[in-house]
Amino acid sequence: MGRRTVEVPVGRPLIGLAIVLVGGSLAYFLTTSSHLGILRAPRLASTPTSEPESVPAGVAHEVAVAINAVDYRNLDSWLASLRPLSTDRGFLMLQSIYVPLSWSLFERDRRVIQPEQVVAEDRGVVAEGNGWQVRLVAITIADVSAEPDAFEMRIALAREDDTWKFTSLLSQAEVDALLAQTGGDE
pLDDT tens figures, 28-60:
333 444 444 433 333 333 334 444 444 899 999
Q: What domains are defined for the chain?
A: 4-182 (3.10.450)
Whole-number pLDDT of residue 184: 66
Whole-number pLDDT of residue 144: 65
Q: In degrees, to the nearest 5, what angle opens at C-alpha 138 toward C-alphas 117 and 80?
A: 55
- Residue 128, Cβ density class (10 Å: 0-12 exposed, 13-18 middle, ≥19 buried): buried
Q: In degrees, to the nearest 5, what angle opens at C-alpha 46 toward C-alphas 41 and 51?
A: 65
Whole-number pLDDT of residue 178: 85
Interhelix angle 99-109/75-82, nearest 10 degrees? 130
Whole-number pLDDT of residue 87: 96
Closest CA to 158 of 12, 80, 56: 56
Higher pLDDT, 178 or 154: 154
Q: Is the pLDDT of residue 147 over 60?
A: yes
3-class DSSP assignment, residue 184 = coil
Whole-number pLDDT of residue 89: 96
Q: Is the pLDDT of residue 90 over 90?
A: yes
Q: Is the pLDDT of residue 138 over 70?
A: yes
Residue type, 100: P
Q: Is the pLDDT of residue 75 over 70?
A: yes
Higher pLDDT, 182 or 99: 99
Q: Is the pLDDT of residue 148 over 60?
A: yes
Query: CA 113, CA 101: separation in Å to the nearest integer?
Result: 18
List all residues 6 or more positions away from 1 whose beta carbon is below 8 Å from its beta carbon: 45, 46, 47
The total of other beta-carbon atoms located within 10 Å of residue 4's CB is 12
Q: Count CA atoms closer than 13 A to 180's CA, side-chain side.
A: 9
